[in-house]
Amino acid sequence: MSSKAPARSLRHLLGIAELSDEDIAAIFSHAEMFKSVLGRPIPVVPALRGKTFVNLFFEASTRTASSFALAASRLSAQCLGFSLAASAVRKGETLLDTARNIEAMRVDGVIIRHSMAGAARFLSERLRAFVVNAGDGCHEHPTQALLDAFTLREKLGTLEGRRVLLVGDIAHSRVARSNILLFRRLGARVAVCGPPTLIPPRVEELGCEVFYRLDRVLYEVDVVNMLRVQNERIGAGAFPSVREYRALFGLTRERLARLARSAVVIHPGPVNWGVEMDYEVSDFPHALIMNQVTNGVAVRMAVLYLLAGGHADEDSPAPA
């Protein structure tokens, strides 16, 4: 397998906005390589032996945190979990204190999830270690976008010219922002749909069309990217009830039956079954939700590998 030299420009992964086309290509090509590693009887390579990362999750997460931890262990690196409940954050430690402590521990990389936009950048400006943004507030979640795009390319060949529709709470979704940016970069035509209360102002300036009526656009698209809707948005006045939300914006059994024949469905998880999607979607042959989870590990291996300074020419993680 040919492996291009990793893009040395990649110092941190803070958002899709900061990635060059070369960075994106390098991540995909390495992810392909690592996906084949994951198919081996012993799915481990020694590429990052001796490296140590910290999973710094200030917000609850199951799949992202374990996906990164698994990716690190598949590369023979260590990934320490930083559990919010047990940490000093509860005792009033600031993010700056946390950054200084991590710096003093001399780890190689930090994977951060935080409820506030810009938190990953904040760390990146204060650490010698590389920083991966695993979701910062309503800003970006770049590895989700990369694994979504990787999954779609695997299924569709290319995103060039494909129509992608993101449905749901666009305003509070970091996945939406990262996905809009990345899908556009890969040549897709992107649209968003949701109640106007959950569409952020001037979102069309990110390069997407806006729809408020799902049925006007759903059956024309190649990719349906459903997003999680949180019940607490009801209290905030975004929509009157779950029932009405499901009726207007849910991927119901009826709507599923009317999708274009080749259309695929993705969702970043965790799904609120019965709200944004009927349970029947999980049986839908073109639902790629589990592929997303599997590919998440390969894509995160690629990201960690490239950021940790792994070099294909030196320690050849590629299958023999």
Partner 1 sequence: MLMKIRRLLLKGGTVVDPAAGRNRRVNVLVENGRVTGLARNLSARGAEVVDCRGRYIAPGFVDLHCHLREPGAEDAETVASGTRAALAGGFTRVCAMPNTDPPVDSEAMVRFLVGRGESAGLARVHPVGCCTRARQGRELAEIGGMVAAGAVAFSDDGNWVADARVMRSCLEYCKAFDKPVFAHCEMTGLDTGVAHEGPVSTRLGLAGKPDAGEAAAAARDILLAHLTGTRLHLCHVSCAATVELVRWAKGRGTAVTAEACPHHFTLTDEALAGYDTNFKVNPPLRGEADRRAVLAGLADGTIDAIATDHAPHTRGAKEVEFDNAPAGMVGLETAFSLGYEALVLSGLMRLPQFIARLTAAPAEVIGLPVPRIAVGAEAELVVLDLREKWTCDRDKLVSRSRNTPFAGRTLVGRVQGGILPGGRMWGVGAD
Catalytic annotation on 91?
yes
In the structure encoding, which two tokens stand for residue 257, read together? 């039956």
In the structure encoding, which two tokens stand for residue 49, read together? 């032996």
User: Which CB, 128 or 202, lies closer to partner 1?
Assistant: 202
User: Which CB, 26 or 138, lies closer to partner 1?
Assistant: 138
Is 162 annotated in a binding site? The answer is: no
Bridge partner residues of 164 (DSSP): 190, 223
User: Which CB, 112 or 224, lies closer to partner 1?
Assistant: 112
Q: Which residues, including other chains, have CB under 8 Å from residue 285's CB and lie 6 or more apart?
A: none
Catalytic annotation on 35?
no
User: Which CB, 204 or 254, lies closer to partner 1?
Assistant: 204
CA torsion angle 33 296 21 206 (round to 10): 160
In the structure encoding, which two tokens stand for residue 38, read together? 């994951």
User: Which CB, 35 or 121, lies closer to partner 1?
Assistant: 121
Among 90, 106, 128, 202, binds partner 1 (CB under 8 A): 202
β-strands 78-82, 52-57: how paired?
parallel
Catalytic annotation on 141?
yes
Of the residues 12, 30, 51, 64, only one is catalytic, namely 64
Given the rule CB under 8 A, which of 23-31, 34-42, 136-144, 309-317 is the region that contacts partner 1?
136-144
Of the residues 62, 90, 91, 261, only one is catalytic, namely 91
Catalytic annotation on 64?
yes
Is 63 annotated in a binding site? The answer is: yes
User: Which CB, 138 or 164, lies closer to partner 1?
Assistant: 138
Is 144 annotated in a binding site? The answer is: yes
Side-chain half-sphere CA neighbours of 55 within 13 A: 23
To partner 1, the closest distance from the beta carbon of 75 in angstroms equals: 30
Catalytic annotation on 177?
no
Site pattern 84..103 for partner 1 (x: CB under 8 A):
----------xxx-------
Rounded Cα gap, residues 46 and 48, in angstroms? 6
Site pattern 39..78 for partner 1 (x: CB under 8 A):
----------------------------------------
Q: Which residues, including other chains, have CB under 8 Å from residue 119's CB and lie 6 or more apart?
A: 58, 95, 112, 136, 137
Q: Over the range 172-187, which residues count as b (16 or more CB within 10 Å of their CB) and which as e?
A: bbbbbbbbbbbbbbbe
Given the rule CB under 8 A, which of 44-52, 81-89, 110-118, 151-159 is the region that contacts partner 1?
110-118
In the structure encoding, which two tokens stand for residue 93, read together? 């430690």
Distances, alpha carbon 191 to alpha carbons 140, 143, 171, 182, 284, in Å: 18, 21, 14, 13, 22
Among 57, 122, 239, 284, binds partner 1 (CB under 8 A): 122
Find the distance separating the first CA and the last CA of the chain, reported in whole Å. 8
The amino acid that residue 53 corresponds to is F
Rounded Cα gap, residues 112 and 12, in angstroms? 11
Of the residues 30, 35, 74, 113, only one is catalytic, namely 113
314 part of the interface to partner 1, by CB under 8 A: no
* Active site amino acids: 63-64, 91, 113, 141
Q: Which residues are annotated as a binding site for carbamoyl phosphate?
A: 63-64, 113, 141, 144, 269-270
Residues that bind partner 1 (CB under 8 A): 17, 94-96, 114, 116-119, 121-122, 136-140, 174, 177, 200-203, 205-206
Q: Which residues are annotated as a binding site for L-aspartate?
A: 91, 174, 228
